[in-house]
Each structure stands twice: as C-alpha cells, then as structure tokens.
Amino acid sequence: MDKSIIESIKAELNGKGNFLAKILNTFAMVKEELGEHSWVGLYLYDSMGKVFNLGPFQGSPACEEIAPGKGVVGACALAKETLYVPDVREFPGYISCDARAKSEAVFPLIDENGNVIGVFDIDHPEYNGLEKDLPILQEIANLIAGIGIN
C-alpha cells in the first residue's frame, strides 16, 4: 500500500461529507489498495447489548455480532491492543465470515475514557497478506479514532 493513501484519507475525513460518507469512502480507498476479496470495516460497541455490531464496511457480507473476547475482533477489544493474525487457521476461536480470508489485522478504537468503542478490522485473502501494510493501517486507524465514531 502506498503511503500517499494517508494524505488522501486525511483529505477525505476532513472534507464536508457526513460521517458515513467519509468512512465508506475511506474504506473503499483502503480496499482498492488491498485488492479483490479483501474486507475493510468497523465493528462498533453497543454498551447496552454488550456486543460489537457490524458497522460500515466494504467487502463481502460479514458476521453481524461479536461478543467481547470472541474471535480476533473480541480479543482485540479485550486486550485493547492491535492484533495481527498472519494465518487465521492458527488463531484459537477465529470467527470465519468469509472462507477466502486468510490473514487479519484489528485495531482498537479507544475513547478518551479508555473504553473500546470500536474495532477497525481488515481481512486479506493471502496468508500474511497485511504485514507490510501494518504501519499504514495503524495510521489509518488513528485517523478514524480521531474523527469520533460515536
């Protein structure tokens, strides 16, 4: 992924559109860079239901609810840490939404009180398909957290 995507995403997120328009365009830009059968989206925490709900995304239909601690998304939320899974077959409790996904990266979005309000989730159709892009994806996660998603 070319580092110039950061400037394009900053321009998009600082632009005039509403939240959903900006976030969907941002995810479309990332997905275009990562290629066919990648998946780029958000899981958003519902504090009433105590689950992460599927939020805006670009890619194939995906699992709609993930409990904290479950799957890669839930593990990321519990640990409040970025996780990279180069081979999804080796992650205990991995939740498969699309059999084509082979590697996955997740970034917690944390509010000013230290609560995880969402998880930025990227799937790639190749094993270890995201390693070289992790620093850029982390920067993108920080930009998304910065616009306030709730």
Residues that bind ligand SME (CB under 6 A): 39, 62-63, 66, 71-73, 94-95, 97, 101, 104, 121, 123
SS3 category, 82: coil
Q: How far apart are alpha carbons 25 and 40 in whole angstroms? A: 11
Provide φ and ψ at 53, rounded to 5°. Answer: -95, 145
Give the 3-state secondary structure percentages of the chain, helix then strand then coil, rounded to 5: 35, 25, 40
Nearest to ligand SME of 17, 69 (CB atom): 69
Structure tokens at 126: 């190749």
Determine the residue with CB nearest ligand SME. 71
> Least distance in Å: CB of 59 to ligand SME?
7
Nearest to ligand SME of 8, 53 (CB atom): 53
> Least distance in Å: CB of 54 to ligand SME?
8
